[in-house]
Amino acid sequence: METSTKKLSSLRITSLDDDDEETEIPHQPPQAGLSPAGADYEDDDDEEEEAEVTLGVLSKPKHPGFLLRHLFPSKAGGIPAWLDPVNLPSGKSSYCGFCGEPLQFVLQIYAPIEDNVAAFHRTLFMFMCPSMACLLRDQHEQWKHKYGNPCRSVKIFRCQLPRNNAFYSAQPPKHDGSDKPLCPGAPVCHWCGTWKGDKICSSCKKARYCSEKHQALHWRTGHKNDCLQIISSAASNSVLPAVGIVPASISWPEFEIKIDYEGTFDSDSGDENNSKSLVMQRHGKPDAMMQSWMDHFEADADNKCWASFQERVSRAPNQVLRYCREPNAKPLWALSFGCPSDADIPSCSYCRGPLCYEFQVMPQLLYFFGVGNQPDSLDWATIVVYTCQGSCDQTVSYKEEFAWVQLYPTTTTRQ
């Protein structure tokens, strides 16, 4: 590992531990003219050196303060730790393209690029609508991307900053409790704690919201009484009570994303049956349709894609994320159909350069989020994320990247 790292520049996904160590992901600079990350699973037989994959696994944070924005965390669930805390995504960017509801935070990955001065700090954020009906529509809409800007229920934002910026010290965090951001962030919605609070309660002038729906929800669940107290306190010149905290019930549980290299796991030690049960473990006992589908793939010896997926996942069954930005990196597809070709991956919306594969989210994340097995529950085989190969630096603080959703056959029939 050390020799390989010396040969390559490095891209880091960092997480916070008590010993304040940083782990580096080997990375080669993007090559001009390289086509988008190979989406053709049939190329697996090529005699090329396999790219090293970094795995993300979840761990409960030892202290909530470890996941604050000025410590540059990688995390899943809870509320986002915005890298640029002022210029947040706004307008239609924060809403589901189908139902029009505000999107829910899924995860973020701190992944700076050391040979790009504009990306000294760089974080990728993933949001999605919690409605499975919207995800089904998203899976169909993604094929239309080259014909325009389709509606999406899964959105990826890339934010990056140079070392010297208005928000954080140029020195690395000390992790001793003394680290502080240089400025406060924009006020966010008092209900979801995620999106910018552009709307203000007309009565107390204190509570802020990202949408009328969140304002109504907050009013019904307690702000009606708080609002009267705030108004009364203001009239009597007493200390204003707190507006309230974001209810945990509206976000997925919060975890720290810790990393490990897939190469550290013995490929011969994986238990394929255990892998299959872990991938499907949130479903409990498979229903007849799911069991029939699984039996079909088990009986089909020619289906290299499904067999490869099972074998790779069995090396580290708790993985929720796979990351690799090397030029020869490829996604690990669960199915042999529903995969994009290079032509299906659009160009960067900002610089018009090519996109490359960077990471994918595994279905195990749903288990850790406590997502149930109801007919309308979220479900996916994998969600693959493509980002600007040059990680372009444009005037927009949060640049929307591209996600490809692959669903199981049983979910694609829920129309």
DSSP string, 55-75: EEEEE--SSGGGGSGGG---E
Pair of tokens at residue 270: 């994986």
pTM (predicted TM-score): 0.81
The predicted structure's pLDDT at residue 23? 40
Q: How confident is the model at residue 279 (pLDDT cuts 50, 70, 90)?
A: low
Assess contact for 111 and 223: CB atoms under 8 A.
no
Exposure class string for 389-399: b at 16+ Cβ within 10 A, else e? bbbbbeeebbb
Residues of the chain above pLDDT 90, percent? 52
The predicted structure's pLDDT at residue 6? 37
Residue at 273: amino acid letter: N
Digit-coded pLDDT (tens) for 142-164: 988 766 677 999 999 999 999 99
> Strand 208-209 vs strand 199-200: parallel, antiparallel, or unpaired?
antiparallel
Q: Is 404 helix (H, G, I), strand (E, B) or coil?
A: strand
> What CA dihedral angle connects 146, 151, 156 and 161, to 10 degrees?
80
Q: Which of 39-53, 147-161, 247-261, 370-384 has the lowest mean pLDDT?
A: 39-53
Q: Which residue has the higher pLDDT, 174 or 233?
A: 174
pLDDT mean across residues, the chain: 80
Asked if residue 131 has pLDDT above 90, the reply is yes
Q: Which residue has the higher pLDDT, 50 or 210?
A: 210
Pair of tokens at residue 391: 């990680």
Q: Distance between CA atoms of 353 and 356, rounded to whole angstroms?
A: 10
Digit-coded pLDDT (tens) for 212-266: 899 888 888 878 788 888 887 766 665 545 555 666 567 899 999 999 999 888 6
The predicted structure's pLDDT at residue 228? 82
Please give the sequence-ordered ranges of beta strands (E in DSSP) within 117-261, or none if there are none: 121-128, 154-161, 199-200, 208-209, 255-261
> Strand 75-76 vs strand 104-110: parallel, antiparallel, or unpaired?
antiparallel
Q: How confident is the model at residue 94 (pLDDT cuts 50, 70, 90)?
A: very high
Which residues, in sequence order, are CB contacts of 328 under 8 Å at separation 6+?
38, 48, 49, 50, 51
Q: Which of 91-105, 200-214, 375-389 has the lowest mean pLDDT?
A: 200-214
The predicted structure's pLDDT at residue 113? 95
Rg, Å, the chain Cα set = 22
Asked if residue 387 has pLDDT above 90, the reply is yes
The predicted structure's pLDDT at residue 271? 53
Digit-coded pLDDT (tens) for 332-364: 999 888 899 999 999 999 999 999 999 999 999
Assess contact for 267 and 50: CB atoms under 8 A.
no
What are the C-alpha distances in Å from 45 to residues 76, 78, 336? 34, 41, 15
Assess contact for 98 and 104: CB atoms under 8 A.
no
Q: Which residue has the higher pLDDT, 208 or 232?
A: 208
Q: Distance between CA atoms of 50 and 30, rounded to whole angstroms?
A: 16
Residue at 404: amino acid letter: W
Digit-coded pLDDT (tens) for 290-325: 555 555 555 453 377 878 888 899 999 999 999 999
Cα angle: 156, vertex 162, 168; to 5 degrees: 90
Cα first-last separation, the chain: 47
